[in-house]
Amino acid sequence: MKHSIAVVGAGSYGTCLAILLGRRGHDVRLWCRSDEMRRELDERRENSIYLPGHPLPPEVRPTAALDDAVSGARIVVGVTPSHAVRDVIGQAARHLAPDAVLVNASKGLEESTHLRMDQVYDEILPAEIAARATFLSGPTFAKEVALGLPSAIVIAGRDQDATGLAQEAFSSERFRVYSSDDVVGVQLGGALKNVIAICAGVCDGLGLGNNARAALITRGLAEIARIGARQGANPLTFAGLSGLGDLVLTCTGELSRNRRVGLELASGKKIADVIAQMRMVAEGVKTARAAHELAASLGVRAPLSDTAYGFLYQDQPVADVIRDLMTRALRDERD
């Protein structure tokens, strides 16, 4: 079925989703922050800054007016960085259709409050729209989605009808969408894996080997599951696409921005310089602080999040924090 869809955010991932949805035959409005970018997208029919070489289908109409993008849209896809969700989606809320279904594709925790995006939605959206919101997450690099390479992802929601509507709207022969009712677990997997990926980049950048990377990914998954369990997530979710799948991709893939941050830090660069050189947001940088503080508030051990916080925000040498990880008190693996 064809739908009117707004994609709010024209970074690499928002653009790739707009391309995907346009190819599915939906009427897509792609919101970008500036009229200058809107003109370029209109004239060149590609996002030369964030996703060059991938033309926008005719069904995709760029706009710089948020009300124009979301008014009357049956599905609204939020793809801003997590730190912008409260502001941008909060503004969009004034123009949403009463039956709109929101699909959150932002992966992160709100830095100042440590809230998941569903919790932010509960504060900024009308109650009936927040209750229908869905959450998209899984191992998908924007470039590969835009190329039409096979991908699988999961969409979670508490309203079965809304989740099914969004699942059908995104699904195609090259983009398989699974459904879930675990809103908490799907979001935490997508957010916290970015922190672990920064650590994985440091591990690779220091030349610590395949054994170390495998151990880091495995213990990272255990850490994510501990935090998730404390917040009520289903532990099985973390063995799925939004958990293990996204973690492996982000910790090993050459296109991973968060892994790239870790590689740069391992080479001796300061985080401020690394961020200044990046055009796109690496969500794990801000999420590392939120994850460190959230885990502490929950009383959950989170050594990798603590490690990332140490070298990102306390200027601890990366070699020292890796040593500290390896020499912590011994314990049972399932503890």
- In the CATH scheme, what is the code of domain 191-326? 1.10.1040.10
User: Is the pTM higher than 0.75?
Assistant: yes
Written as six digits, the tokens of 262 are 């870790």
pLDDT band, residue 290 (cuts 50/70/90):
very high
Tell me the average pLDDT of the chain. 94
Question: How high is the pLDDT of residue 70?
Answer: 97
Contacts of 250 (CB under 8 A, 6+ apart): 139, 193, 194, 196, 197, 200, 256, 258, 259
Q: Which residue has the tokens 């959450």?
A: 135
Confidence of residue 143 (pLDDT cuts 50, 70, 90): very high
Among 21, 111, 89, 32, smallest CA distance to 65 is for 32
Reply yes or no on whether the pLDDT at 327 is more than 90.
Answer: no
| pLDDT (tens digit per residue) in 202-227 | 999 999 999 999 999 999 999 999 99
CATH class label, 4-181:
alpha beta
Catalytic residue annotation: 193
| DSSP, residue by residue, 75-125 | EEEE-S-GGGHHHHHHHHGGG--TT-EEEE---S--TTT---HHHHHHHHS
Q: For the chain, what are the domain ranges?
A: 4-181, 191-326
* 308, 199 Cβ separation under 8 angstroms: yes
pLDDT tens digits, one per residue of 107-140: 999 999 999 999 999 999 999 999 999 999 999 9
Rg (CA), the chain: 19
The label of the residue with tokens 């892994």 reads: 259
In this predicted structure, the answer to whether residue 317 has a pLDDT above a threshold of 90 is no
